[in-house]
Structure 1
């Protein structure tokens, strides 16, 4: 039985309009305060919620009621926003 021909594969070259721009590779690194602020906000938010639950809603601010949850979770969400900008 005759052997089939082997096809030669072409070398793939990506299209020029899809290549990532060179400006993204040459951008500056993040400032040193950014990860420090993000970690501080995470610790602050967790600490706020822990104090709120352990004090049976008397502390940090009793008059705010359940808005204390918004403060704790808001601090953690803002830290995630900061971390999304970290390079």
Structure 2
């Protein structure tokens, strides 16, 4: 029975600056990013909870169901801020 040919494995070499991103593009985010995101989440959830528990009388009774839009908008804004977090 014939013996199979032994192939040499290629030696891995680390690529040097082949991408457009450099090492300084991976700087950590400023401190305001997570603080703002968590604050927006808490404000949004607090707005919605207050709206439901008050029987739709608070935070702004004249807005009616637009209070839901305000609460959910705060939470969506927090997701947008978190997309900048590294």
TM score, norm. by length of structure 2: 0.81
Give the number of aligned pairs: 85
Q: CA RMSD, aligned part only? A: 2.3
Deviation beyond 4 Å, 4+ runs, structure 1: 11-16
Q: How far apart are the structure 2 equivalents of 1:10 and 1:33?
A: 46
Question: Residues 19-74 of structure 1: CA distance to partner in whole angstroms, max 9, x if unpaired?
Answer: 43343x31332211111011000000000000111111111111101100000000
Q: Which residue of 1 aligns with 2:50?
A: 51
By how many angstroms is 1:2 displaced?
Answer: 2.3
Give structure 2 stretches of 5+ with no counterpart: none
- What secondary structure does 2:34 align onto? helix
Q: How far apart are the structure 2 equivalents of 1:29 and 1:10?
A: 35
Give structure 1 stretches of 5+ with no counterpart: none
Q: Which residue of 2 aligns with 1:8?
A: 8
TM score, norm. by length of structure 1: 0.80
